[in-house]
Amino acid sequence: MARSPDAGGRDTGAIALAAASVISGVFAYLFIAVGTRHFGTEDFSGVAQLWTIWFFGSSVLTFPIQHWVIQRLRTDGHGGAVRVVLPRLTLVALGLGLGVVAVTSLVREDMYGREDLLYPLIAGGITVGAAAMGLLRGGLAGRSRFLATATALGGENLVRLAFGLAVVAAGAAVGWYGVAILSGSLVILAWPSALRFQGPAVAGVSPMAFLGNVAGGTVIAQSVLTAGPVVLSLSGGTRDEVTSLFTALALFRAPYIVALGLAIRMTATLTDLATAGRAADLLRIQRRMIAAGLATMAMGGAGAALIGPSVLRIVFGDEVDLTRAACAGLAVGSLAALATLGLTLVQMTDGAGRRVLRTWATALAVGVVTMVALPLEPLPRVVAAFLASELTAFALMALLDGSGERSR
């Protein structure tokens, strides 16, 4: 498969992906801000849970699938490997979607604050849509169509915002605002050719090895990063506290959201370096990520403690209320997640998936112990557990040297 960069070359593609990530984040915050202000924090709490599930699915399914597809298309020069495993990936996505429907149905009153099955069904659809978005972005970026990838990235939340504004304008019930989250996956209809993969079968390729190692670690990583509102609601937090935590995480995850878009381009670059045997360059990139991560955590934590509560009230309304300590903890943890994401990309490219999984399993264990052991109220306890897990993951990932057996 010949690589055909978008007009303007690779730099234009990287700039477009960065811009699309920022624009997508702006659309996301507008969607949340409009919803919280129009429906109120209590009624919006169920939609906040759906948004958490979307972000979780986007990271757990979209992220690993898109990067695996990018790596296969760029390494093989064709889509034969993806074509062979596509039926299995489809079954996995459908199975996870049904599992989400089943599990969230059992706790729908505590989780969503309503008895009907609308939100569990939306949650299942969001999960399947996240897998489809992974195939779309991977299919585009793997063929060096970075401008199209950027358009898809920004367009997903634009569709959600447009749908949400229509719901508000029509005076519809809050449930339709939840449907707006599901509507974002409709952008796949704009590039049907990106989902067609052709070429000869490639022997020895197993996406389950990749998903079982790197994506296994990603599942845990995104559970830590996104599940705070769910954990808080199930551990006795009020609905106002759930929405406050959700909005704070949404704000402090802004750099992470941008990085997810840039990671698409970075995966292609790291794959080329690994294929060329340039281990020294990969190690240098890793060390720079560690230094940058430490610096941003220090500055971000201090800034959040100073102005975090005020910014949250300005953006999301006066009902959103968190302490300075909570804001600082959430900011540092979110920036640690950002740094760990960069280190994970290096490990993904160099094949150390098993160690990525072990790192996040250890980090999760630290968070669980923190959650159980600290004699605090539910909200500060969730914040402390989140911070402990993210810092543990960053510290352990920083110790990995990037060497390891390569997984196809």
Q: Each residue of 1-34: pLDDT tens digit? A: 444 444 444 457 778 888 898 898 889 889 988 9
For residue 139, CA distances in Å to 15, 149, 350 come to 19, 9, 21
- Enter the pTM of the model: 0.74
Q: How far apart are CA 140 and CA 122, in angstroms?
A: 26
Answer whether residue 4 is part of any domain: no
* CA distance linking residue 268 with residue 30, whole number of Å: 31
In a domain, 63, yes or no: yes
Residues 207-240 have pLDDT tens digits of 566 666 666 777 788 788 878 888 888 888 888 8
Give the SS3 label for residue 404. Answer: coil
Helix (H) / strand (E) element for 212: namely none
User: pLDDT tens digits for the chain (408 residues)?
Assistant: 444 444 444 457 778 888 898 898 889 889 988 998 898 878 888 888 898 888 778 777 888 888 888 888 887 888 888 888 888 889 989 998 999 999 989 888 878 878 888 999 999 999 999 999 999 999 999 888 989 999 999 999 999 999 999 999 999 998 999 999 999 999 999 999 999 998 887 776 665 666 666 667 777 887 888 788 888 888 888 888 888 888 888 888 878 877 877 888 888 788 778 777 788 888 888 899 999 999 999 999 999 999 989 888 888 877 778 889 999 999 999 999 999 988 888 877 765 567 788 898 999 999 999 999 998 888 999 999 999 999 999 999 988 764 444 444
Count other C-beta atoms under 10 Å from residue 268's C-beta: 23
Q: What's the CA gap between 339 and 299, in Å, rounded?
A: 14
Give residue 133's identity as a one-letter amino acid code: M
Assigned token pair, 334: 């979110």
Hunting for tokens 């504004």 — which residue is that? 165
Close Cβ partners of 203 (under 8 Å, ≥ 6 residues apart): none
Q: Which two tokens stand for residue 153?
A: 């990235």
Has residue 407 been placed in a domain?
no
Instruction: Give the span between the Cα atoms of 9 and 147, in whole angstroms.
Output: 10
Ordered DSSP codes for 99-141: HHHHHHHHTHHHHHS-SSSHHHHHHHHHHHHHHHHHHHHHHHH
337: in domain:
yes
Q: What's the rounded Cα separation, in Å, for the pair 282 and 262? A: 17
Q: Would you mind telling me the total number of residues written for the chain in this entry?
A: 408
Return d(Cα 408, Cα 400) in angstroms, integer: 20
Of 94, 16, 38, 96, the C-alpha closest to 265 is 16
Query: Rounded to an integer, what distance in angstroms lies between the CA atom of residue 404 and that of residue 347?
Result: 8
| Residue 3 counted as domain residue | no
In a domain, 110, yes or no: yes
Range of the domain at 177: 9-399
Phi-psi region of 402 (alpha: psi -120 to 50; beta: other; left: phi over 0): left
Cβ contact 156:185 at 8 Å? yes
Distance CA 141, CA 264 (A): 7
Q: How many domains does the chain have?
A: 1
Q: Which residues, at least 6 apart from 345, have a Cβ–Cβ distance to it below 8 Å? A: 67, 263, 266, 267, 270
Contacts for 253 with CB less than 8 Å, ≥ 6 apart? 55, 225, 334, 337
Domain assignment present for residue 201? The answer is yes
Residue 282 lies in a domain: yes
Place of tokens 């072990």: 358
Nearest to 243 by CA among 77, 42, 393: 42
